[in-house]
Structure 1
């Protein structure tokens, strides 16, 4: 009962519709609640405790409040609501004007002329229940949360995930820097090499403008340190058009044609501005490392990513988006110098759109490929539109120096699956040759077959005639011919088949998957074929995976057929993060086999530390031997730092890595985890060390700032601070906020804190009996600074070291006492 009584003091105040129309809802006050004080301990004099202060609910005073608003259980975001006084001085009422009702999604066409006139009348505060029948408002002032219920008939129909554009936050003026440093040293039979890499992504935000530059420093044995600029550009969000304009270096939209690099200007629709339910991609790179290996990812000659991975399967899922097309070239460099490469397809999937939804893009500038000397201006435009639930039409044009192509296609959403097909006609003029004209036909298919639980993710086939050249092929051929190189060495694709299938076998039998692609060419008889077939399942908590793969080895140009089997055993309890993984692989190259066991996991209250220790044995026709490696990383509030070391027969390897982000803002520099495209700068003065969103690298620093990276643009993002472990003198006024940033924004989110001196005392009467529960504590000026809880426990905030506090548990004589505050913040005291 005592706990319930204390909680009721902070209960919300509901502004509801009056049952009796004769009652003026404007002056409605909450009914008084009666408590039976017999259930509570009596005062020292034997009198019952005065609980009248709990009888009127939660006071709400006139003024403006910034609240977290939800309508029909759907979050709207932070809005400012004005409260005006009523006849009850403790319970002001919220006012609803046209702007607020629009943000809430009210359909004005469903309101009467008189209702709209009331809404638009100046200097008039209208209660929601006076405007909309059966509506209700519930305001919790302790959490600044306002929950509104409105009959659906009065609401606009909006897609799930809709956030009113007026709530989108463009962020503050700020500078950004993202860094990813890696030093990798390896030696083989006494010959060593060291590679250094520093990737930098810098930017400046001014209003809606985003200025960005991406580049990297790299050096190796026998090489001078050089800097490669991969992109420099500016972006601006055009909200009314749900589009974005980009100036500088970029990649074209790849939904109709393959994406290409350009330097110029592009204007394109931005699906991220659409609600979740109306949104129609960098791929995940997966592979297997045999040692502590260096993995690099390139696209069109540009270095996109470099990292060090421990032995075993790896996954790279944090590539920056560079467009919808253009295969990724992945190179895995083992500690002994062996290199393996493979391509990850990066192309579009069936492009069905909802009825009325459209996408467009217009790109003009210079074709950009750093591997080519030939330069050409280029103009491209694409358009897609959903006509019905079944049909989507799309098409586009591309023009460059002596080159032109036109594409037209349709996507069908049928009961047999999603199907798209298109044809592209291209004409190319080449130096010293007659103009070539050809066609390329493409069909894509995706289908989930519920009866068998077979997921055909994408099946795509493209056939091109001998005279067809894509824009990329045409630019490369022109470059070769103009520089005296024969063009017969350029592979002209004839046919390409891509397939990705997964089959769920049921809860006991696991799942099968198959991925692969095959390509053949007009100018040679070779056929490239790569595939991976695998099976995954569980035995209790033990997971296992078996696969067969075919991969091209860069150093030999031969195909490597590999069999791989893996077992992972979780260690400890079900919530433990440690696991033991054993991998067995065999390759037909030198009949090489490897057995490898790895212990990995995380440690720390918030998984700040991660570690991996492994041992392996390798056998081949030419050599055999054992090896081992270890790696670890620490995710701090100023960045992530890691190291690795490994050794095997004739080889040694070690590396150091660091990654993080820096934001320059009006109050200084704030260091944090690696930044994403869209970020939040969290201010909470005095809350040093507090965790944000429960993530180890998201912490408030000594200056009162922290960074939350990789927010979802144009959507509501929840930012929460965990008050656990904060000093006694620090109180958060609120622990959570919702923000909806524009893409690329740095949104400054301020959490108010109360850092006044706080004391916690166990207070008794002179006879040793505890003070009455619920007694109010005031300072010399009569300002309330705290209350007495169970067992005479008193918490008072905002008191001086020599302050004298008045404790009052009733209004009569002898129902109060005073206590002198000691310099100590905690202890016991006697109230006289």
Structure 2
């Protein structure tokens, strides 16, 4: 069946192909001569080809166009076309200062620009080699600029001149988990936990308030409720400094010193504003869940991440790369058991590009989630200077009235052998009348062995003298005491994470390694951390995962994996090993049979996972002691996970997790899925058309009843694209613009419109009041000024975007000539039933008759 796009393309091809006379003028500013004899028309006199008669000519006026720089689509602008002073019959795009800012010109390139029309429009010739032309067919303004004039750019990364701060607006994001469990002899217990962000955007400023909550209890009388606003803060990007300014409650993000919470201000070089290949390392958390489990990752009591995971190995890789220091991981199994461990987020070697200086400055008062302000006003600063191609020098200092620390280090790019950095820190502490002084030494190494398909993400070693204290240890010691006064006992914070004696760190080893054996279809992944102390037992954790794909007989894509882990912290030990074999079953299902040993017990399990469609997947599990089910749904408004399990007749549980958010701007609002809480997002406006499927990088989401949709999987400072899912468009919807691209600053609410035509489609025959037809080549537009058809021979036209009773205008000769009103009763089949429509001349006084609604079967005036 023909659609509107197909018919329009056929008509345009018929107009342009074969019309140009071989004796015509040049394709520059000269008029093009058309040979109308090649057209099979009944009326060769009633033809309007004025819009095609001059190559590249666009009638003076203002048009919505997508700006394209060297073929790269940016955002849409209202572009005005004016006749130049030396050629009143031509037209030229007016490139305003707002559009020129998107070019990303170097300072020396911008200095030589000239302007016309009173300084409103750029003189294109003032930048040698530059050209600009409009294309009405694709609604694009194509600008070509020699690369020598442009700032540095990379794939999917734009220079700061193209960054978009987004729209003013409000947002609320949430991550909620509801748990109900029933245990023999203990009754039923219910719990609710969650975290999220409430925020507002105003220009480049982002105002945020982070919250976390937990409600637990067996009945209403003994419920324990904790609701905490963990952070109130505001931040903004400062592109000229490639830095981020934060005011309010924040955490110290340092490459040299441990993280702690404080209230004050910080100005930090922001690696996320650099091209992707120059950014830092984001930590990841790996582990094994014995059942469907809830995983909570926190730092100093602040929940960073919470999610439901299915039974088996899990790997969490989407933590913010600004996180540093020790992370507390709590795995709450659905059988009621809980195990915790810590992950060290060692960084990659501290290197800086030649000639560049990175810095981080912070000041304020340390604060505590439980106690509020904690300690005296402090100040910290650090820097890294790229001395040359291979060497970087870095250092910093931090301190208050009772604590001082100074650090100095050097980094070296070893080229084919990776990168390494070494630093030393000296601390002086005055605590309870006692003075402590010590040194700490650290070395870090990183290397990608591409030729061996392997990678050392990081490898680090730190040695600290007995009396060395970091700033965070000094602050903790004010409440928990030093290691020699603590007698080895343990405490737990409000989220169940173990808190032991402070200080006494001796040596820490950290490594992360993975290797691919492509010929064997195998891979190995290893993480290791060991912490030794001066006066208490060592702590360590390691995890090894080995997997291999293979074929057995006629069964392909089978896999075998072995996962082993060991954890020891204070007097608590946890060891486990899991061996599993997976094979494909059905079109998309996977059957996994496994055996495991944990805490001295053997277990056997069977899991089957599959998906109903692109949005819904599930997993069914059974072991010798329990059964469980896990369902995951990707919705337009939220991601929802549902988990249920039973363990014999002694224990049963049901969990529901939802992650989503809501965003409101002056243009409208929408509920949506949520990625990073409080993070960057894009609102798409489909012109009031509901049900339009749009997507970023994940599953599509549909525009709501007001024609708004929000996409949350948008990266900060990285060029992102949003597209219309053309394969899933409703039958009565057509997307004339299906892709938009932009680069948003951190936390921005981007806003873009998409050109969507909705309505029925039908063949029509247009008649003027005198009985004649509009000329061949005339264009039809709806009330939104969207092209809905091109008039063919005899006034026939294939119309799209038809709404009962709506008016459309028909233009030829460079102006609107007549208007038509669509009938209230539309045909049921637009390709066989033809509308007979009267087109009333614009500016003529007459009584407008009712539109004709009779159906015609006259094939002489019908064009296919």
* Counterpart-to-counterpart distance in 1, 2:586 and 2:732: 41
Once the two structures are TM-superposed, the CA of residue 447 in structure 1 deviates from its matched residue by 1.9
Q: What SS is found at the alignment partner of 1:368?
A: strand
* Counterpart-to-counterpart distance in 2, 1:580 and 1:76: 42
Q: How does 1:173-192 map to 2 (within 5 A)?
A: 173-191=168-186, 192=188
Deviates more, 1:259-268 or 1:520-529: 520-529
Q: Does 1:702 align with 2:708?
A: no
* Counterpart-to-counterpart distance in 1, 2:810 and 2:100: 46
Q: What SS is found at the alignment partner of 1:237?
A: strand
* Counterpart-to-counterpart distance in 2, 1:645 and 1:279: 40
Structure 1 residue ranges without an equivalent (≥5):
13-22, 573-577, 619-624, 766-770, 809-817
| Superposed CA offset, 1:765-818 (max 9, x none) | 9xxxxx99977587999x99633679977226678659999999xxxxxxxxx9
Q: How does 1:106-505 map to 2 (within 5 A)?
A: 106=105, 109=108, 116=112, 118-119=114-115, 122=118, 128=124, 130-132=125-127, 134-155=129-150, 163-191=158-186, 192-221=188-217, 222-276=222-276, 278-280=278-280, 282-319=282-319, 323-370=322-369, 375-377=374-376, 378-415=378-415, 416-433=417-434, 435-481=435-481, 486=486, 489-490=501-502, 492-505=504-517
1:456, 1:502 within 8 Å by CA — same for their partners in 2?
A: yes
Q: What SS is found at the alignment partner of 2:600?
A: helix
Once the two structures are TM-superposed, the CA of residue 443 in structure 1 deviates from its matched residue by 0.5
| Superposed CA offset, 1:661-682 (max 9, x none) | 1123335542222254111222
Q: What SS is found at the alignment partner of 2:224?
A: coil
Distance 1:246 1:101, change over 3 A: closer
* Counterpart-to-counterpart distance in 2, 1:61 and 1:226: 65
Structure 2 residue ranges without an equivalent (≥5):
1-5, 18-24, 489-500, 768-772, 813-819, 835-854
Q: Does 1:595 align with 2:605?
A: yes
Distance 1:319 1:731, change over 3 A: same
Aligned counterpart in structure 2 of residue 517 of structure 1, from 503, 518, 529: 529
Once the two structures are TM-superposed, the CA of residue 229 in structure 1 deviates from its matched residue by 2.3
1:716, 1:738 within 8 Å by CA — same for their partners in 2?
A: yes
* Counterpart position of 2:623: 617
1:180, 1:199 within 8 Å by CA — same for their partners in 2?
A: yes
Q: Does 1:786 align with 2:789?
A: yes
* Counterpart position of 2:80: 82
Deviates more, 1:75-84 or 1:701-710: 75-84
* Counterpart-to-counterpart distance in 2, 1:548 and 1:634: 28
RMSD, aligned α-carbons? 4.3
* Counterpart-to-counterpart distance in 2, 1:124 and 1:203: 37
| Superposed CA offset, 1:687-741 (max 9, x none) | 1010112755632111221111142223333233346666777665633333332
Distance 1:804 1:30, change over 3 A: closer
Pairs aligned (count): 781
Q: What SS is found at the alignment partner of 1:194?
A: strand
Q: How does 1:25-40 map to 2 (within 5 A)?
A: 28-29=29-30, 31-32=32-33, 37=38
* Counterpart-to-counterpart distance in 2, 1:76 and 1:668: 23
Deviates more, 1:245-254 or 1:688-697: 688-697
Q: How does 1:655-804 map to 2 (within 5 A)?
A: 655-666=655-666, 669-674=669-674, 676=676, 677-693=679-695, 696=699, 698-722=701-725, 734-751=737-754, 759-761=761-763, 786-787=789-790, 794-795=798-799, 801=805
* Counterpart position of 1:19: none
Distance 1:636 1:36, change over 3 A: farther
Q: Does 1:579 align with 2:589?
A: yes
* Counterpart-to-counterpart distance in 1, 2:116 and 2:782: 47
| Superposed CA offset, 1:726-764 (max 9, x none) | 677766563333333222121232335566x75503779
Deviates more, 1:49-58 or 1:370-379: 49-58
Deviates more, 1:794-803 or 1:326-335: 794-803
Distance 1:33 1:146, change over 3 A: farther
* Counterpart position of 2:579: 564
2:638, 2:658 within 8 Å by CA — same for their partners in 1?
A: yes
Distance 1:729 1:592, change over 3 A: closer
* Counterpart-to-counterpart distance in 2, 1:807 and 1:101: 32
Once the two structures are TM-superposed, the CA of residue 294 in structure 1 deviates from its matched residue by 2.0
* Counterpart-to-counterpart distance in 2, 1:142 and 1:48: 25
Deviates more, 1:494-503 or 1:443-452: 443-452
Q: What SS is found at the alignment partner of 1:287?
A: strand
Aligned counterpart in structure 1 of residue 543 of structure 2, from 510, 516, 531: 531
Give the TM-score of the pair, scaled to structure 1.
Answer: 0.82
* Counterpart-to-counterpart distance in 2, 1:437 and 1:487: 22
1:774, 1:788 within 8 Å by CA — same for their partners in 2?
A: yes
Once the two structures are TM-superposed, the CA of residue 494 in structure 1 deviates from its matched residue by 0.9
Distance 1:763 1:665, change over 3 A: closer
